[in-house]
Amino acid sequence: MKRSLFSILTILVLAGVILSACAPSAEPTEAPVAPAPTEAPAAQPTEPAEPVMTEKTVTIGFTSSLTGSQEVSSKRQVNGFNLWMNQVNEAGGIKLSDGTVVKIAAQTYDDESTKERVQELYTRLITEDNADFLISPYSSGLTAAASIIAEQNGKIMITAGAAEDDAYKTGNTSLFQLYTPGSLYLISTVDMLKTLDPEAKIALVHENDKFSTSVMDGLKPYLESQGFEVVMEEGYAGDTPDFGPVINKIVDSGATVLLGGGHYPDGSTLARQLYERKVGLKFISLLVAPADTKFPELGDAALGVATSSQWELAATHTPEEAAALGVEWYGPSGEDFATAYEAATGDKPTYHVAGGYMAGLILQKAIEDADSVDPEKVKAALEAMDIFTFYGGIKFDTTPEAHGLQISHVMVVAQWQKNEAGELVRKVIWPADVANAEPLYPIPAP
Amino acid sequence: MQQFNLLLASLPDGILLGFVYGLAAMGLTLIWGVMNVINLSHGPIIALGMFGTFFLVTRMGLSPYAGLIPVAVIGLLIGILIYTVAVHRVINAPHLSSLLATFSVNMIIIGLGTAALTTSPYNVDFSAGSIKLGSTTLLGTRLIAALVSMLFTGGLYLFLYRTRPGKFIRAVANNRSAAELMGIPSTRILALSFGLGTMLAAVSGALIATFFPFSILAGGSYELKSFVIGVLGGLGNPIGALFGGLILGVIESSSQAFLESSWVPVIEFGLFVIILLVRPSGLFGAKK
């Protein structure tokens, strides 16, 4: 009996050991890329007038969803951030006027796409890892959880991959939003529909999470103000596998255009099932999922599906645009960014990648403008920021009502179309002045 | 009237899905019926069945239906392995021991699966056409999945009632000690039963992969449905599980004609509690 008990315990312990080796770990998932000493010995100055060269490492903390429902987009965001960090460190760091060279290190954990882990890990990033600045996790829901911790501890957090508006309207002063706010997410799409088919009947079918709901809250009044009829509105759980009953409702409503979606898993599932059931909608625009390079794995179900995109290489912003607007240009060109990213990962950059890169880039700009890594000075530089980059405009609301909300960045509409070789490619179809293809409208019948 | 039309349009889908849910639950309830073990590794086995289809279709170019045979065989062998390694030593211990043992297997499979396959959604790009029936569209993949589920149910019935090992399984389920006294090798029969349970789970996963995207975590929701179905159909009653699956499928589809999809779990688990309170032996009777 004792022997069997011992055997059971041995099996359980072994299982635990294997599990702990395999399960997402609370240990840092990526070692800091630049593990340089925080205060390197300064070289002896030969002339008193020259600034003393010192090296300082700034730690940027964030969690990423290496597992769970946000994995696909979150990993892209981290890839973008890592590209920026490597470029800065390889270029010798950010140089300040007093001779300090700021190198960047990252401290990151897997949040498993859960809010509970996010709050626990951001607390750890601040209190144990002594992160100097924070980047948000991916998705509005996780960012809302992280923002509470950042705000409580007065840490600056650049929110990438989080479009929902509410977090900036509750008196927070440490958050700075990179994305176009959710309430404006589909405005460009509606403007396009107005020119293509002002009689379109709209179905709003969306994930019932914070982000997608905030997009719909902003969209519905705008649709109505533009004279569109919303014939159906329905939310669904993000892990819904079967959209059959929802699709039956869409057909029954007489809708000709579907606007909605949420994130990658549900959006790709919905697109596939709409195609399989030959619903025959004239236009489908889904949030997030069609912006990913995995989306064409759906095959012909991806054809014609559009998305609102924070950035597309085909419509990347240029110094000429910045000059025309009279705004300072900052950072690399979109082509240089895309080339560097493809060289580093072998993949084409999506807007999630650009978001991760930009989170680092605007922090770099703020440190340069502040000429310091002092959080208060960096915060003041962020509040004063008004720049144009390959990603577009960056300017933050500084009023107490919506502090940190992005007010300069605008979105484009992209759609999966087929090129001459019959391959699925994502084309920019709106605004007309940056489009590289005509909208595929109506979508060809399956 | 509009709601009624929606209900009619959604019902066929619910029935077809119900057969597949029933097949998944049959695996869980068979194991409970034979050895009184709640198999918490049921969900990951369903997910492994999904990945079996994915790799056989995308890497080896097999039809997903031809791929069911290797998936079933591997599912059977995995079950026998799990029983031998993790369950056999605790089969006579209190239920908590076997519960923890299968939970550990669950976590090991998910951990290894996450490391090897990530939690990104996978998709089998396969279509078997569709049939338009009035206001509803029946997908070929779901029709075939329902037919295959019925075939497996029939096969299981014949195996349990017409073959010698099947009769051994029923004998062990009824009274293990008496079966052993009659010379039935109960350890091998228990391992076979566990293997059959995991085989059914893997096959249901393989069928689900033909119409829904999935990840290594996807089996969890089907495991929960299997519990509800098991209670509906009567724990330990494999044939009752099929009817339980049909009831759940119909409830899922019909409720969405009136409510948003996020209400479905509320209804499912509300029903779960009610059945446990009012008729704990299930609608079709638990194992006698």
**A104, A85 in Cβ contact below 8 A?**
yes
pLDDT, tens only, A320-357: 999 999 999 999 999 999 999 999 999 999 999 999 99
Average pLDDT score over residue span A224-248? 92
Lowest-confidence segment of A78-82, B41-45, B282-286 by average pLDDT: B282-286
Contact B213, A272 (CB under 8 A): yes
Q: Which residues contact B76 (CB under 8 A, 6 or more apart)?
A: B195, B196, B198, B199
Q: How many CB atoms sit inside 10 A of residue B143's CB? A: 17
pLDDT digits (tens, 9 = 90+) for B246-273: 999 999 888 888 888 888 889 989 988 9
B258–A contact, CB cutoff 8 A: no
- How confident is the prediction for chain B on average, in pLDDT? 91
Banded model confidence at residue A19, pLDDT cuts 50, 70, 90: very low
State the pLDDT at residue A2. Answer: 45
Token reading at B3: 């709601």
Question: In this complex, which of B90, B123, B256 lies closest to A245 when CB atoms are compared?
Answer: B256
- Does pLDDT of A6 surpass 80? no
pLDDT at site A49: 58
Classify burial at B15, counting beta carbons within 10 Å of its beta carbon; exposed 0-12, middle 13-18, buried 19 or more: middle
Given a contact cutoff of 8 angstroms between Cβ atoms, the answer to whether A204 and A234 are in contact is: yes
Per-residue confidence (pLDDT) for residue A50, from 0 to 100: 62
Instruction: Determine, for residues B114 and A7 on separate chains, whether the beta-carbon distance falls below 8 Å.
Output: no
Considering only CB atoms, which chain B residues are within 8 Å of A71? Answer: 118-120
Please tell me if residue A22 touches chain B, with a CB cutoff of 8 Å.
Answer: yes
* pLDDT score, position B283: 82
Nearest to B111 among A19, A66, A72 (CB): A19
pLDDT at residue A272, as a whole number? 92
Q: Give yes or no for residue A20 having a pLDDT over 70.
A: no
Of A230-234, A384-388, B230-234, which range is least confident? B230-234
This model of the complex carries an ipTM of: 0.83
Domains of chain A: 25-180+317-395 (3.40.50.2300), 184-309+411-430 (3.40.50.2300)
Average pLDDT over residues B53-79: 96
For residue A68, give both structure tokens: 């769970």
Are B230 and B32 in contact by the 8 Å Cβ rule? The answer is yes
The encoded tokens of residue B235 equal: 């724990």
Helix, strand, coil shares of chain A, percent, nearest 5, are: 40, 20, 40
Q: What is the mean pLDDT of chain A?
A: 88
Residue percentage of chain A with pLDDT more than 70: 88
Residue A443 banded pLDDT, cuts 50, 70, 90: very high
User: What mean pLDDT do residues B19-40 have?
Assistant: 94
pLDDT tier at B56 (50, 70, 90 boundaries)? very high
Task: Write down the pLDDT at residue B95.
Answer: 87
Q: Which residues pair with A62 in a beta bridge?
A: A108
How much is the pLDDT for A167? Answer: 85
Determine whether the interchain pair B213/A241 forms a contact, defined as Cβ–Cβ distance below 8 Å.
yes
> What digits encode the pLDDT tens for the residues B105-158?
999 999 999 999 988 889 888 888 888 877 778 899 999 999 999 999 999 999
Amino acid at A55: E
Sorting pLDDT into bands at 50, 70 and 90, what band is A93? very high
Q: How far apart are CA A159 and CA A137, in angstroms?
A: 8
Confidence class for position A390, pLDDT limits 50, 70, 90: very high
**Is A11 in contact with B115 (Cβ distance < 8 A)?**
no
Please report the pLDDT score of residue B134 as a whole number. 75
The alpha carbons of chain A give a radius of gyration, in whole angstroms, of 23
- Report the percent of chain B where pLDDT is more than 90: 69
Query: What's the farthest any 2 CA atoms get from each other in chain A?
Result: 84
Reported confidence tier of residue A35, pLDDT bands at 50, 70, 90: very low
- CB–CB of A11 and B105 under 8 A? no
Q: Is the pLDDT of residue A48 over 70?
A: no
Half-sphere exposure of A98 (CA within 13 A, CB side): 11
Instruction: Return the domain boundaries, chain B.
Output: 22-218
- Of A11-20, B55-64, B106-115, the poorest mean pLDDT is in A11-20
User: Over 80: is that where the pLDDT of A303 sits?
Assistant: yes
pLDDT score, position B265: 87
Q: What are phi and psi of A387, to 5 degrees?
A: -130, 170
Mean pLDDT of the region A14-33 = 44
Bridge-based pairing state of the strands A392-395 and A386-389: antiparallel
| Side chain identity at residue A215, one-letter code | V
| Helix segments in chain B, DSSP class H | 2-35, 42-58, 68-82, 95-117, 140-162, 164-174, 176-181, 186-208, 219-233, 238-258, 264-278
Other C-beta atoms closer than 10 Å to the C-beta of B134 total 9
Tell me, yes or no, if B120 comes closer than 8 A to chain A by beta carbon. Answer: yes
